[in-house]
Structure 1
Amino acid sequence: MSEDLQQMLTESNLQVGDLVTGEVASIDSNGVTVHLEHGFEGFVPIRELSVLPVEDASTIVSIGSKVNAVVKNIDRESGQVTLSKRLADSREAWDKLQNAFANQETLEITVHDVVKGGLVTDVGVRGFIPASLLDTRFVGNLEEYKGQTLQVKIAEIDRDNNKLILSRKAVLENEQNQKVQKVISELHEGDILEGVVQRLTSFGAFVDIHGVDGLVHISELSWNHADHPSDVVNEGQTVKVKVLKLDPEKGKISLSIKQAEPDPFEKYATELQVGSVVNGVVKRVVDFGAFVELKPGLEGLVHVSQISHQRVNHPSDVLHPGDKVEVKILGVDYERKRVSLSIKDVQERPVVSKKDVKSKPSAPANKESESVTGTGATLGDLFGDLFKKGND
């Protein structure tokens, strides 16, 4: 090292750990050479350019650009000053990130790489976005996010352990909640409008209305019983729904498909005459009977005791879904909207023959009446005269 450079290093009082600023003078495969304000040069190895692996230094800096770096090592004999842009970025980043976390600020990041379980970004420190915090719905292909710019919030920050967890899901949920609140403020309970079925679950169907999802519970899908939502609707199907309930606090919208249409019971109530005989189709069979559709959407119950004059162990032994049957209307409960039906009352009661009636044998009057020969003759018949002579 020249005496002038050594003198410059001594006079600058440069120490390891100092934060310095310089201008990029050259770039090669090993790193970046920087002209420092002190009048000498420093070198940033390629591994010290970023918290993430770097293959090409020119993707991080360009000639003539200003960089901040931390002094990692000073070799006074060779005059080599080793710098770290990574450490300088990290120092500045942690302070900003702490403030952003405290204020719940949204950050804009670029996805640099895809790793097992999520995405990685460089925000001065290594940031990790778990796949579970990437979207409000399941994401199957993480590769499509590589290179994308995303809006995220800080989910967890631990400076001591160099840990930063980011969440795009939190941003999406916040945006969705704002959208839901806006839609709720514009809707009224009782409104009828069109929507599109987005997804089905075991308990109902989520329908998109004005860009937000409302739930149609399985009990509100149809006037007929449904074992699963897929029995009534399909994803992507356009449906008419009625707004049942709006809950701004929970951000929930309850909808009904069946109530967007006339109630079949009310529609056909005047046609339900007790004692009349009508035709119907068995829709479903349960332990206690069978439900028969009388009109579209209108079902009545045939209790197991009303299926047949003969004993029925289980309704499925006699009836099956799709069977066409003739039934008699036994009763109509207008308050509970229920119809009681009978199949056996429209059938003739079977005639029981004498052969089918088993009479109990009468008890013998005395021992003399007991049969001893198998021919039906009694002791009195065989020995009556003998007993009579003995008495004489």
Structure 2
Amino acid sequence: MNNNIAEENQNMNQELETQNEVNESEIELTGEETMEELLDIYDSSLSKFEEGQVVTGTVISVGRETVLVDVGYKSEGQISIHEFISEDGNVSVNVGDEFEVMIEVWDEEEETVLLSRDKAKKVKVWDAIKDIYDEDGTIEGVITSRVKGGFSVDIGLLAFLPGSQADLRPIRNMDEMVGQTYTFKILKYNKKRNNIVLSRRVLLENEREKMRSATLSAIENDKVMEGIVKNITEYGVFVDLGGVDGLLHITDISWGRVKHPSELFSVGDHIKVKILSFDFEKERVSLGMKQLTPDPWTTAADKYPIGSKIKGRVVSLTDYGAFIELEEGVEGLIHVSEMSWTRKIRHPSQMVAVGEQVEAVVLDLKPENRRISLGIKQTVENPWEVISQKYPVGTIIEGKIKNITEFGLFIGIDDDIDGLVHISDISWTKRIKHPSEIYKKNDTIQAVVLDIDKANERFSLGIKQTQVDPWETVAERYDVGKEISGVITNLTDFGVFVELEEGIEGLVHVSEISKENIKSPKDHYQIGETITAKVMNINSDERRIGLSIKRLNEDDDDNRYLEEIAKSSKPAASAFGEMLRSNIQEKLEAEKKENE
């Protein structure tokens, strides 16, 4: 019993020493104190605690389940080992570590003290939050995750950051903010409800306002400034110059062609721009980027003189031509009429494609109007300049039919030059309603060169001219007064058409059918019927032969009729009239000789 008391006294003395010699200056021991007096002194020397109080403790041992911490009480406080296990599973506490803890449970009778380091930290954080809020200060935190309506932020405690308070403008990709550390303003807090609401936007607005004032004082026309691309639209780019937004219109981005600003910029890009104009009242700033470099049209006349050959890239096609980029900001137009000497180009896509590199000749240049006229066909020799030498008029050529129309045939010659055989030059004698009655595409034919019009790029051919015109000798084959037979090809109210040979027809006028009055030949004849008639007159120029049926076997009357025609004939006004009068005279003289 006495030994136990002695050991207890010894332990108590050691504990008193480890408590930094508590109240040494106030309590002086004489060594004559009784055990009861010593216990009273010991109890009075120990700190008095309350649940929820935060105190400083020192780790005296680390066990499997608990960590013992000396907080100046007669028995050690206990903290669960789980509060010291890190994410990788290691225990992060050692004997001698000193930190603040909160008294969770303090039972003096049972001499039990349960502590929590985590709760002590939270108490300190709440105290800090109150101080920061009261002093209108800021706090730093890490965005840990996205939650409904915003983000969860670790500031020692979990706080809520509404999405609308995360930035100055809507955030496109909210996941990019997770894991980032930012400074926040505390909007409100409620310790009982464990609720803290933060804002980053308030700080950004304050910062932007400071920048805005500085920017407004620095802005002036023609000044070059750096900005950040804030928004992109189809008509331009909005640039943040530092609290002040300016518009970089699409027409002021580049001297060249820009289809959409997004081809050149992304939100967040840092760019240099020039102040074009500024309205202080409305705070509207017009920006330019192309104005940072000289206008290329100022030197276009020197770079692209008329007649020079250039190379460029096809950037656009229209119904009337192709636009060629010679350099950034300088484009020329190749009209469809300047793409080929021989082909009829309906659309420039028949010759070029967007993105293609082409060679052309400068035809005209008007820098003041920012226009350059170009031509592709001028890069090669004009075939129409040499075609007349290669195929002089009268030359017989051979070629394939490339196209058939109602007015003629197009014959391929060379160098994409087509010759036209008009329907009237297909046959001397045949009546052709459509060339396709005789020919078909890709037929090979011979034709004679009739005319070459270089100015209008026309090449005229003739098929019938490869043969002699049968009407030139028709008077030799059909003497006036001669009886001939033929097949009726057509019946009209004014007469009967009779084919004398292929392509040669004569007309029996209704008055020359019979001595009787005939109202319509259709009542007396049929198409395809063969009849005999007498040749009365021939007009080779007009390709007409006059026939008569009623004058068959009436030689005397016929002679008198012919004499009347010869006597009444005036001097011939044409070769045909002279020939007709001569034929009649010869016929009369021959018949007189026979009668003699």
User: TM-score, with normalisation over the residues of structure 2?
Assistant: 0.42
Deviations 1:202-256 (A, max 9, x none): 978999999x99886664343122457799899xx99975333569999997653
Write the distance in 2 (CA, Å) between the matches of 1:322 and 1:169.
52
Distance 1:345 1:181, change over 3 A: farther
Matches within 5 A, 1:272-283: 277-283=307-313
1:51-130 equivalences in 2 (<5 Å): 56=91, 58=93, 62-63=97-98, 65=99, 67=100, 69=102, 71-74=103-106, 78-91=110-123, 93-94=125-126, 96-97=128-129, 100=132, 105-109=137-141, 123-127=155-159
For 1:96 and 1:390, locate their aligned partners in 2 and report how far apart those are by CA, in whole Å: 138
2:331 maps to which of 299, 306, 316: 299
Query: C-alpha displacement at 1:390, in angstroms?
Result: 6.1
Larger Rg: 2
Aligned residue identity for 2:297: F
CA offset at residue 26 of structure 1?
A: 1.9
Q: Say which of 6, 20, 29 aligns to 2:53.
A: 20
Higher mean C-alpha displacement, 214-223 vs 278-287: 214-223
Aligned residue number for residue 325 of structure 1: 360
Contact kept in structure 1, 2:86 and 2:92, CA below 8 Å: no
Q: Using a 3 Å threshold, how does the CA distance of structure 1 residues 249 and 171 change in structure 2: closer, same or farther?
A: farther
Q: Distance in 1 between matches of 2:279 and 2:78?
A: 61
The percent of aligned pairs where both chains have the same amino acid is 23
1:343 aligns with 2:375: yes
- Counterpart CA distance in 2 for 1:54 and 1:365 is 117
Q: Counterparts of 1:76 and 1:362 in 2: how far apart (Å)?
A: 129
What is the CA-CA distance between 1:325 and the residue it aligns to?
0.9
Residue 71 of structure 2 aligns to a residue whose secondary structure is strand
The aligned runs of 1:243-258 (5 Å cut-off) are 243-244=275-276, 255-258=287-290
Seen in structure 2, the aligned counterparts of structure 1 residues 31 and 108 have a Cα distance that, compared at 3 Å, is farther
Q: Where does structure 1 lack aligned partners over 5 or more consecutive residues?
A: none
Superposed displacement of residue 152, structure 1: 1.4
SS in 1 for 2:53: strand
SS of the aligned residue for 1:224 comes to: coil
Q: Which residue number corresponds to residue 531 of structure 2?
A: 383
Work out whether residues 151 and 171 of structure 1, in 8 Å CA contact, stay in contact via their aligned partners in 2: no
Distance 2:351 2:231 in 1: 34
Give the superposition deviation at 1:68: 5.6
User: How far did residue 175 of structure 1 move?
Assistant: 5.1
Q: Indicate conservation of the 8 Å contact 1:207/1:215, yes or no.
A: yes
Query: 2 CA distance for matches of 1:31 and 1:249?
Result: 69
Q: TM-score, normalised by structure 1?
A: 0.58
Counterpart position of 2:255: 223
* 1:19 aligned counterpart, secondary structure: coil
Letter in 2 for 1:287: T
Q: Which runs of 5+ in 2 are unaligned?
A: 1-38, 388-416, 425-430, 435-488, 509-529, 535-546, 553-596
Q: Are residue 189 (structure 1) and residue 228 (structure 2) matched?
A: no
Alignment match, 1:260: 292
RMSD, matched Cα: 6.3
**d(CA) in 2 for partners of 1:391 and 1:155?**
130
CA 1:282 to 1:107, structure 2 compared with 1: closer, same or farther past 3 Å?
same
How many residues in Structure 1 have an aligned counterpart in Structure 2?
A: 359
8 Å CA contact 1:217–1:255 kept in 2: the answer is yes
Task: Determine the C-alpha separation between the residues in 2 that align with 1:23 and 1:101.
Answer: 26
Name the structure 1 match of 2:71. 35
Amino acid at match of 1:35: V
Amino acid paired to 1:323: V
Greater Cα shift, 286-295 or 382-391 = 382-391
Residue identity opposite 2:54 in structure 1: T
The Cα of 1:181 is off from its aligned counterpart by 5.4
* Contact 1:280–1:293 under 8 Å retained in 2: no
Distance (Å, rounded) in 2 between the aligned partners of 1:249 and 1:91: 51
In the alignment, is residue 355 of structure 1 matched against residue 420 of structure 2?
yes
CA contact (8 A) 2:220 2:275 kept: yes
Structure 1: how far apart are the matches of 2:224 and 2:58?
68
Aligned AA (1:292): I
- For 2:182 and 2:281, locate their aligned partners in 1 and report how far apart those are by CA, in whole Å: 25
Give 1:198 deviation, angstroms. Answer: 9.8
Other structure's SS at 1:385 match = strand
Maintained 8 Å contact 1:104/1:153: no
- Find out whether 1:290 has 2:290 as its counterpart: no
Deviation (angstroms), 1:293? 4.6
Distance 2:104 2:78 in 1: 10
**Cα distance between partner residues in 2 of 1:141 and 1:106:** 19
Q: Which deviates the most, 241-250 or 23-32?
A: 241-250
- CA deviation vs aligned residue, 1:74-122 (integer Å, no higher than 9, x gap): 556632232334345435534654775698742135x6xx967799875
Could you tell me whether the CA contact under 8 Å between 1:277 and 1:326 is conserved in 2?
yes
Structure 1 residue identity aligned to 2:531: F
Q: Given residue 322 of structure 1, which amino acid in structure 2 is its aligned partner?
A: Q
AA at the equivalent of 1:106: T
1:260-311: CA deviations, max 9, x gaps? Answer: 22223344479999xx555444432323432235677432334546655754
Q: Assess if the C-alpha contact under 8 Å between 1:51 and 1:122 holds in 2.
A: no
Q: Is the 8 A contact 2:60 2:69 kept in 1?
A: yes
Name the amino acid aligned to 2:316. V
The 3-state SS of whatever aligns with 2:291 is: helix
Q: For the Cα contact (< 8 Å) 1:306–1:341, is it kept in 2?
A: no
Q: Any idea what SS the aligned residue of 2:357 has?
A: coil
